[in-house]
Chain A
Amino acid sequence: GAVVSQHPSRVICKSGTSVKIECRSLDFQATTMFWYRQFPKQSLMLMATSNEGSKATYEQGVEKDKFLINHASLTLSTLTVTSAHPEDSSFYICSARKGMDRWNTEAFFGQGTRLTVV
């Protein structure tokens, strides 16, 4: 299967600082990537959809100025958590849709990034 890599896998930062998380599709081109957030013992919640070369689409309740998404190439999307606070501590996961194949409907996930804001 296709490989999606996230970096870093774990990060601890001080309150008020910004953290950037990278999501790369290693062996395929991803025109669309998705960012999810997962709090302990809860399911994944979609935050935003990232399209290469255009602005991201955010889900209701997700602050676009706080969670900056950039999808500058077909293999890289970044999520920057700006002015992080302890309540932003969570497990952030990206996924990528493979190519433009109408019938290819699998989504491939990164290994996730555990963010702890202290």
Chain B
Amino acid sequence: GESVGLHLPTLSVQEGDNSIINCAYSNSASDYFIWYKQESGKGPQFIIDIRSNMDKRQGQRVTVLLNKTVKHLSLQIAATQPGDSAVYFCAEKWSNYQLIWGAGTKLIIKP
């Protein structure tokens, strides 16, 4: 069936640098995508979302880019901080009730 996946399971970034986490999706009909952050021992927390009628959306230090041509989603984190260490999940709206989740990318911040 349709799936959402991530290119890299682990990403190591120097503190202060920008981080880019990638996600591929396969359902070209998907119209809504969302990024979550999960810190160790906690539940996922919403970061940012984007609808398919947009290419880019910015939040506080985060930007999501959507490329519908190649079915690719990315999350950019500016000036990465130690508190950004977490597992990041992308999710795709599957129906009015369900999201399909990627496997996650672990972001490690090097001091």
Chain A complexes with chain B:
no
